[in-house]
């Protein structure tokens, strides 16, 4: 084989090898939206007014993100992001004769690359049913507080039933819980992780299972309105009640009995009467309780077993 033949064969082999080798891959760098500043822009008005019926409202937007956090401040309204370009709001039927408003807050993005919060507002017109009145039966309780003001429209119900001597301790151990709210017992209940360690609170949670959601142990100041109901609308006298107050209280006890309720003050002959726990803590060892005969407030050991628990339910109609 001559030199030319060797050169020819080498050239053919080189061409064959080159033809069988894999081409160098080409990587196309796709844009990553999380490397861009998060943006969120609504394409329509962010307020909407609906009638009293159940319905759906859609708010369209555009965003370079596909992660969203959305919060709604009212139970009768819910919102979800669909197709990364619209907020679908579901509004329940308004059964009461009051206007109400819900605020939806949405943020686009993830981690430290998020937009400023934007809000959507839904106004709903009134239904046909009037608010109940103080003293009306409602579900498993009796109405003791009503508000028609836009800021806090709603009503509260005191349970017909009570826990007493089961034992109804505030807690089974001494510890600081942070349940110091005096205005809203719901905020105190939210701090409890293990209900079985708080018998009085657990009783109200059990009521929620049997008589509808939302029952809780009332805070210290919520008892002012409960005592006003017990007193027949008369501002309670601190100390020994007047004859007029006693008459109103007897009427209320008869009302409870006629509707299957437990006595409000079974120890009527006692100088103090029944005592009920509030959900408001004083310190590691003590919590506030109410003496209903004298309409007074005191502090006592959380592990005491002779106090009662009367639960309340809040209906927010805003």
Q: Is 217 helix (H, G, I), strand (E, B) or coil?
A: coil
Q: pLDDT digits over 251-286, tens only?
A: 999 999 999 999 999 876 667 789 999 999 999 999
Nearest-angstrom CA–CA distance, 190 and 112: 29
One of 2.60.40.10, 3.40.50.620, 2.40.160.10, 3.40.50.2300 is the CATH number of 33-124, namely 2.60.40.10
Q: How confident is the model over 228-250, as a mean pLDDT?
A: 92
Residue pLDDT, tens place only, 296-308: 999 999 998 778 9
CB atoms closer than 10 angstroms to residue 112: 6
Mean pLDDT within 80-97: 95
Q: Whole-angstrom Cα distance, residue 82 to residue 301?
A: 52
Q: Which residue has the tokens 């009995």?
A: 257
Q: Enumerate the domain spans of the chain.
A: 33-124, 137-316
- Tell me the C-alpha distance between 100 and 72, whole Å: 14
Question: Residue holding tokens 């608010």?
Answer: 131
CB neighbour burial string for 283-297, b if at least 16 within 10 angstroms, e if fewer: eeebbbbbbbbbbbb
**What average pLDDT does range 150-162 have in this prediction?**
91
Number of CB atoms found within 10 A of residue 187's CB? 16
Q: Give the burial string for 75-99 (b: 16+ CB within 10 Å, else e).
A: ebbebebeeeebbebebeebebebb
15 pLDDT higher than 50: no
Q: Per-residue pLDDT tens for 130-146?
A: 999 999 999 999 999 99
Could you tell me the CA-to-CA distances from 23 to 27, 30, 183, 187, 192 in Å, in that order?
Answer: 12, 21, 74, 66, 64
pLDDT at 79: 97
């Amino acid at each position: 084989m001559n030199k030319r033949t060797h050169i020819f064969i080498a050239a053919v082999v080189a061409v064959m090898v080159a033809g069988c080798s894999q081409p160098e891959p080409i990587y196309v760098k796709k844009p990553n939206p999380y490397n861009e500043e998060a943006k969120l822009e609504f394409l329509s008005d962010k307020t909407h007014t609906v009638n009293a019926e159940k319905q759906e409202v859609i708010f369209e937007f555009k965003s370079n993100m596909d992660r969203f956090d959305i919060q709604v401040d009212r139970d009768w309204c819910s919102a979800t992001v669909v197709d990364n370009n619209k907020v679908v709001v579901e509004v329940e039927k308004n059964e009461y004769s009051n206007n109400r408003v819900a605020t939806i807050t949405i943020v686009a993005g993830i981690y430290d690359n998020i937009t400023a919060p934007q809000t959507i507002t839904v106004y709903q017109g009134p239904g046909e049913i009037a608010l109940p009145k103080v003293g009306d039966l409602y579900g498993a309780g009796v109405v003791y507080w009503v508000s028609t003001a836009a800021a806090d429209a709603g009503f509260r119900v005191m349970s017909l039933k009570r826990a007493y001597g089961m034992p109804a301790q505030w807690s089974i151990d001494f510890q600081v819980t942070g349940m110091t709210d005096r205005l809203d017992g719901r905020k105190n209940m939210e701090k409890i992780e293990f209900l079985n360690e708080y018998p009085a609170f657990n009783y109200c949670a059990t009521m929620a299972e049997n008589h509808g959601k939302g029952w809780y142990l009332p805070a210290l100041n919520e008892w002012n309105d409960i005592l006003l109901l017990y007193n027949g609308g008369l501002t309670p006298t601190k100390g020994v009640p007047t004859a007029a107050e006693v008459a109103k209280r007897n009427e209320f006890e008869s009302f409870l009995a006629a509707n299957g309720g437990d006595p409000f003050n079974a120890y009527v002959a006692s100088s103090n009467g029944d005592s009920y726990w509030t959900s408001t803590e004083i310190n590691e060892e003590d919590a506030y309780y109410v003496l209903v005969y004298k309409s007074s407030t005191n502090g006592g050991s959380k592990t005491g077993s002779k106090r009662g628990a009367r639960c309340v339910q809040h209906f927010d109609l805003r």
